[in-house]
Structure 1
């Protein structure tokens, strides 16, 4: 049996370092979001303010996304990722000192949400574009599923641990977040890869919009990314979980942590399955069915008054969303040349940010109008309708058979 070369071993070690950094960083992010959400609702008791936390993260991410993608394509992606993690650690430190000094306020939480949004404009494309440099194309679907398994493990543990630590006070949660971000930044600097030689190109409107043009010309990619945008924008209920935990399901911070973790439990289970059996046939149809299941789960969750039923349907929604994540991310990375991955990933991050942070604002605003139950049920119905309409709007995506059918950038 041929022994792996030094370069191959280096790539494996670097991929595992990236995997560990994502676990630490994701756990810190999830704990921070639980703490900020509960902290904001505790200070103001307002669904509108919970929605504003999401909006304040989305706006800077949107404003900086195209420039961030250009930066990721021109500079060392590992160092960019390490800097992003360090800044998030600084945000956790500010919140820690604010809590200890008793000067935490609505304004401070919103201002730091702006900072988190700006950082993630760079973090998401750097993180996504780094994986293909460490993994051969044929192994990319399995690598995406394996990465997602670790990430979802952190998403499970982060909110649950954050909810438990919140019993000891917000300062305990913020201190734990600071430690996790410091560990993630330390690990990511150990990632080693050969930086591809690229021609230096001036920053112009054409280069900034290159990722948008690339995606627009590839309808399967556009359909997959926009499907996730509208499905999670309409069907997400994360911003309203503090209301459900406190006022509808009648649990405390521990219950909120479990509700936040439930989708990740389902996602983790599905990612383990996909690591062993990655999507191979009828991927377009599978993607649309997964989004439909996600929407149905949101309808049941919105109507549920049982804590355990709510946990169950949230877990199923997470499993369905994991199928969406693996198919979508693999499709994007396989069809994008390396010199474009930062800019394409930045556009992808706009869609993801819109579906998450803007979705949180939409949930909060709709809940202020229709109430939390009406908001979640209406969003679930909208998600199912989106999945059905995409069959007609993006027929090439619906008929897509294999992930690697269009390697090299087909415009189908």
Structure 2
């Protein structure tokens, strides 16, 4: 660690946590993530039990991705034009209404309604669709609002790492809590817990002091130009484009998470509680790696490490597909989370570092289309592939495609391969 006399400030792993509004933001994100992860696991379990069809699990992702992608570009424009805190509060309120609806549908009267309806899963998919709209607006707003809570850019890397760490920590607890609630208290109580957590998140976000929008640079743009500016910025930056594209195809082909209910029920035979552990295992790996990176930031040869991490993700996915032992499966899912954490932190750091403040909402919207919605589209791809090829074969295929994407990116994206983020000493 450098001394003050060297001209470089000592690394403070808790720098961002010393800011009160940033702490409120993290607590709100934890509560929000717990709620959405519980809802995601429970609704996947509920629909699979109703249909016993892996394609139905894939349709969950599609039902959320289509509206999210549909509104993303306009949502980015809104995030750079309207008070970002107000957008966050409104979208969390929308998710709260979705959770209340799911809770009511899981009540005895709601279950009876679903049973009498020939389109018995349609109300569930409708709620997912509405939540996708809320998520489409929330993503750009939260991404661009977080840096506004920091006094200077020196806090940015630390804030990004803590943001990722706490998100992953909540992702560890969410599925485990969801699985426990399903197994011991039932689906309705699981949705009620998510409702309470969303209400807490809403109150915490509302307690953060609003921040003014960053000043725009250049002449005022019309709506079409403003909406498309995020695409133009990313397309002109090879480094960001390569990092986003790598994650896009890795998540699109390499995600086995959507099929975990099938593995839990048909292959590993561990039930709802076991499903919660399977869902949590990648997040355990992610949060441990993110915590490690808080103390030992990822600077030197960051591009090469990113490529190796995504390759490791693909290999772990293939091995998981072939495993029939619950403990080995949990270990392999743990490693997918370790490797994914490296990718998330490098990509987030690149986006925040190279994107001007006044267009962060629009750039984040494009990132949401590429990365955020690729999780849901990847879920649909996994469900459709499992329907056609079988569950195990489809996951092996996805992991193999991930490895091919890494190889092509390493060959073509020389700037990413040479990326080094070591701070320059003054």
- If the TM-score is normalised by the length of the shorter chain, which range does it land in? over 0.9
| Equivalent residues of 1:292, 1:384 under 8 A apart | yes
Deviation by residue 1:179-208 (Cα, 9 ceiling, x = unmatched): 000000100112225313535945422111
Give 1:253 shift: 0.6
- Which structure 2 residue ranges, 5 or more long, are not aligned? 5-14, 115-119
Matching of residues 8-407 of structure 1 within 5 Å: 12-100=19-107, 101=109, 102=111, 103-104=113-114, 105-135=120-150, 136-167=152-183, 168-198=185-215, 201=220, 203-402=222-421
Give the SS at the match of 1:189. Answer: helix
Give the SS at the match of 1:115. Answer: helix
Give the SS at the match of 1:250. Answer: coil
Instruction: State the distance in 2 between where 1:207 and 1:85 align.
Output: 25
Give 1:10 shift: 11
C-alpha spacing 1:213/1:202, structure 2 compared with 1 (3 Å): closer
Give 1:404 shift: 6.7
Give 1:353 shift: 2.8
Normalised by the size of structure 2, how large is the TM-score? 0.91
Give 1:298 shift: 0.1
| Equivalent residues of 2:320, 2:333 under 8 A apart | yes
| Equivalent residues of 1:236, 1:356 under 8 A apart | yes
Instruction: State the distance in 1 between where 2:77 and 2:304 align.
Output: 33
Tell me the matched-pair count: 399
Give the SS at the match of 2:298. Answer: coil
Give the SS at the match of 1:195. Answer: coil
| RMSD over equivalenced CA pairs, Å | 1.8
Higher mean C-alpha displacement, 146-155 vs 263-272? 146-155
- Which structure 1 residue ranges, 5 or more long, are not aligned? 2-7, 406-412
Instruction: State the distance in 1 between where 2:51 and 2:375 align.
Output: 22
Instruction: State the distance in 2 between where 1:98 and 1:174 align.
Output: 10
Instruction: State the distance in 2 between where 1:404 and 1:233 align.
Output: 33
C-alpha spacing 1:126/1:400, structure 2 compared with 1 (3 Å): same
C-alpha spacing 1:28/1:203, structure 2 compared with 1 (3 Å): farther
Higher mean C-alpha displacement, 339-348 vs 99-108? 99-108
Instruction: State the distance in 2 between where 1:88 and 1:70 align.
Output: 21
| Equivalent residues of 2:68, 2:373 under 8 A apart | no
Normalised by the size of structure 1, how large is the TM-score? 0.94
Give the match for residue 410 of structure 1. none
| Equivalent residues of 1:24, 1:181 under 8 A apart | yes
Higher mean C-alpha displacement, 96-105 vs 326-335? 96-105
Deviation by residue 1:108-144 (Cα, 9 ceiling, x = unmatched): 1111111111111011111111121123322222211
